[in-house]
C-alpha cells in the first residue's frame, strides 16, 4: 500500500470509531444536562456515582481492548477459529470482572463516605449504583463486541448502534426522570434505569448483528459459548490486565488533578471542569484514531508486513497531529466561545471563570499535543500486543511525575490551575517519549526477527 492508501484506510476505519466515541460522550453529557434540569442534588449525586462507575468500568475494559489486536492479527492470517476463541474469552473475562465488582456498586455508600464524601450524596449515589451497577455486565460485553467488530473493520455498525443508544437514552431519561409518557417520576433512579436499558438494548442489537451479519456469522461466536477455553482465557487475561491498569492510572491522574485544584478554590475547580469537558470531547478524536492504529498494527503483524506497519503508524500520527492543530487554533482564538454554553449568562462568577478557563485552554494547546502523542503510541503498542511495559511507563509518568508536578506548580509555587495543567503536560510528555521509544525498539526487534 502507498502512503495515501494508508491514510485512506485509517480514515475509513477511524472516522466511525471517532464518531462512536463522540456519541458515547454525548450520552454522558445528556445525562448531566437532564439531571441538572431535574434537581441540583440529583445532579451532584449522579456526578459522584458515574465517576465511581467509570473508574470500575475503565479498568474492566482492558479485556475488551485486548481482544482488538488479537482478532485483528487472526483476521489478517485468516484464522477464524482464533477469532472466535479470543472473543469468547474476552466475553468470559468481562462477565467475571463485572460479577466480582458488582458488590462495590451495591454497597458503595461506606466506600464513598470513607473517601470523605457528603453522607447525603453518598446515600443517593448508592441508590443510583444499585441499579446502574447491573449495567456493568452489558456495558463491558458491548465493549468486547465493539472491539471484535472494529478489528474486522466493521466500524460503521459500531457508530450507528452507538447513535441509536444516544437517542434511546434521551427518550427513556425523559420518561423516567421527569415522569413523562405515562411513566412514574423516578428522578435519579430513572436515570440509572435508562442507562441499563440503553446498554442492554445495545448489546441485543450488536448480538443479532454478529449472529446474522455476512462478515461475522461464520464465526458462530455464541455457539457453545459456555465451554471454557483455558489457553485463550490466559492469553486475553495476560494482554488485558495491564491495559486495564493503564486506563486506571490515566483516569486516576485526571481525578487527582481535580482534587488538587479543589485545594486552590471553587472558581478554578469550575473552570477546570469546563475546560476538561472541552478537551475530553476533542480527545475522542485521538482515541478513535488510536483504536484504528491498534487494528491496522494488528493486521500488519498478522501479515508480517513490517514496512506496512511503519507506514501505517506515520499515517495515523499525521492525522492525529492534524486534529491537534485544529483544536489548538480553537483553544487559542475562541476560548470564551467554547466555554460560554457551560455557564449561566447571569452568573456573577461568569467573567472570572471564563478568564481562568481561557488560561487553561491555552495550556490545553500543548496538553493536546502530548496527550495525542501518548495515546497514539499506546494504540500501536497494543496492536503489536505489547501492554505490560507500557503499563509501567504510563504509571510512572502519570503518578511519579505528572501528579507531583501538578501539586508543586499549582499549589506550592502558586501558579493555580495553569500550574496544575502544566504538571499534567509534564507527565504526559514523559509518557509519550517513553512509549514512542518502546514502539521504535519493538518495531526494530520484530522486523529483525
Instruction: Name the burial class of residue 324, with classes exposed (0-12), middle (13-18) and buried (19+) by CB atoms within 10 angstroms of its CB.
Output: buried
Residue 46: Cβ within 10 Å count:
29
The tens digit of pLDDT for each residue in 40-53 reads 677 777 777 887 88
Q: Of 138-147, 207-216, 245-254, which one has max mean pLDDT? A: 138-147
8 A C-beta contact, residue 274 and residue 353:
yes
Between 13-17, 174-178, 254-258, 309-313, the lowest mean confidence (pLDDT) is in 254-258
Q: What is the mean pLDDT of the chain?
A: 88
> What does each C-alpha distance from 111 to 52, 132, 134, 244 come to in angstroms?
10, 17, 18, 21
8 A C-beta contact, residue 431 and residue 394:
yes
Q: So what's the pLDDT on residue 121? A: 80
Q: So what's the pLDDT on residue 277? A: 79
> What does each C-alpha distance from 134 to 47, 78, 94 come to in angstroms?
18, 36, 13
Judged against a pLDDT cut of 70, whether residue 344 lies above it is answered with no
Q: So what's the pLDDT on residue 343? A: 66
Between 15-29, 133-147, 255-269, the lowest mean confidence (pLDDT) is in 255-269
- Distance in angstroms (rounded) separating the CA atoms of residues 43 and 126: 14
HSE of 224, CA atoms in CB hemisphere, 13 A: 6
End-to-end Cα spacing for the chain: 22
- Distance in angstroms (rounded) separating the CA atoms of residues 19 and 158: 9
Between 28-37, 179-188, 323-332, the lowest mean confidence (pLDDT) is in 28-37
C-alpha cell belonging to residue 247: 486506563
Give helix then strand counts, H and E, for the chain. Answer: 17, 0
Judged against a pLDDT cut of 80, whether residue 182 lies above it is answered with yes
What is the enclosing helix (H) or strand (E) of 78? none
Helix (H, G, I), strand (E, B) or coil at 231: helix
Instruction: Name the burial class of residue 212, with classes exposed (0-12), middle (13-18) and buried (19+) by CB atoms within 10 angstroms of its CB.
Output: exposed
Instruction: Name the burial class of residue 290, with classes exposed (0-12), middle (13-18) and buried (19+) by CB atoms within 10 angstroms of its CB.
Output: buried
The tens digit of pLDDT for each residue in 204-238 reads 999 999 998 888 888 888 888 888 899 999 999 99
pLDDT classification of 433: cutoffs 50, 70, 90: very high
State the greatest distance between any 2 C-alpha atoms of the chain, in Å, as a whole number.
Answer: 67
**Nearest 10 degrees: Cα torsion 62, 386, 1, 448:** -170
Judged against a pLDDT cut of 70, whether residue 412 lies above it is answered with yes
What is the enclosing helix (H) or strand (E) of 430? helix 416-448
- Distance in angstroms (rounded) separating the CA atoms of residues 275 and 340: 11
Amino acid at each position: 500500500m502507498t502512503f495515501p492508501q494508508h491514510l485512506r484506510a485509517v480514515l475509513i476505519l477511524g472516522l466511525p470509531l471517532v464518531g462512536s466515541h463522540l456519541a458515547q460522550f454525548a450520552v454522558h453529557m445528556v445525562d448531566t444536562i437532564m439531571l441538572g434540569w431535574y434537581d441540583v442534588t440529583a445532579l451532584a449525586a449522579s456526578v459522584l456515582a458515574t465517576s465511581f462507575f467509570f473508574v470500575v468500568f475503565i479498568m474492566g475494559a482492558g479485556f475488551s481492548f485486548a481482544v482488538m489486536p488479537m482478532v485483528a492479527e487472526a483476521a489478517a492470517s485468516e484464522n477464524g477459529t482464533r477469532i472466535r476463541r479470543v472473543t469468547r474469552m474476552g466475553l468470559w473475562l468481562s462477565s467475571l470482572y463485572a460479577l466480582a465488582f458488582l458488590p462495590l456498586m451495591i454497597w458503595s455508600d461506606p466506600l464513598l463516605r470513607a473517601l470523605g464524601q457528603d453522607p447525603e450524596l453518598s446515600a443517593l449515589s448508592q441508590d443510583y449504583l444499585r441499579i446502574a451497577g447491573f449495567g456493568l455486565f452489558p456495558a463491558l460485553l458491548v465493549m468486547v463486541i465493539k472491539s471484535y467488530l472494529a478489528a474486522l473493520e466493521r466500524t460503521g455498525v459500531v457508530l450507528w448502534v452507538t447513535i441509536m443508544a444516544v437517542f434511546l437514552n434521551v427518550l427513556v431519561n425523559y420518561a423516567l426522570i421527569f415522569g413523562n409518557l405515562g411513566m412514574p417520576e423516578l428522578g435519579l433512579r430513572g436515570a440509572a434505569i435508562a442507562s441499563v436499558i440503553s446498554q442492554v438494548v445495545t448489546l441485543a442489537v450488536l448480538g443479532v448483528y454478529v449472529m446474522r451479519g455476512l462478515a461475522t456469522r461464520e464465526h458462530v461466536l455464541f455457539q457453545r459459548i459456555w465451554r471454557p477455553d483455558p489457553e485463550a482465557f490466559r492469553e486475553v487475561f495476560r494482554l488485558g490486565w495491564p491495559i486495564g491498569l493503564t486506563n486506571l492510572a490515566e483516569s486516576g491522574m485526571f481525578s487527582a488533578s481535580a482534587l488538587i485544584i479543589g485545594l486552590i478554590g471553587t472558581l478554578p475547580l469550575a473552570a477546570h471542569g469546563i475546560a476538561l469537558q472541552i478537551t475530553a470531547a476533542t480527545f475522542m478524536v485521538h482515541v478513535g484514531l488510536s483504536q484504528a492504529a491498534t487494528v491496522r498494527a494488528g493486521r500488519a503483524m498478522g501479515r508480517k508486513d513490517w514496512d506496512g506497519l511503519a507506514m501505517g503508524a506515520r499515517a495515523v500520527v499525521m492525522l492525529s497531529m492534524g486534529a491537534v492543530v485544529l483544536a489548538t487554533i480553537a483553544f487559542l482564538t475562541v476560548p470564551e466561545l467554547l466555554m460560554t454554553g457551560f455557564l449561566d449568562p447571569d452568573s456573577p462568577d461568569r467573567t472570572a471563570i471564563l478568564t481562568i478557563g481561557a488560561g487553561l485552554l491555552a495550556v490545553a494547546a500543548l496538553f493536546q499535543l502530548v496527550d495525542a502523542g501518548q495515546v497514539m503510541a499506546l494504540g500501536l503498542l497494543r496492536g503489536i500486543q505489547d501492554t505490560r511495559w507500557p503499563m509501567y511507563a504510563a504509571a510512572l509518568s502519570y503518578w511519579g511525575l505528572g501528579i507531583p508536578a501538578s501539586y508543586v506548580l499549582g499549589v506550592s509555587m502558586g501558579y493555580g490551575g495553569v500550574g496544575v495543567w502544566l504538571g499534567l503536560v509534564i507527565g504526559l510528555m514523559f509518557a509519550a517519549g517513553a512509549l514512542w521509544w518502546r514502539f521504535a525498539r519493538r518495531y526494530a526487534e520484530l522486523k529483525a526477527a
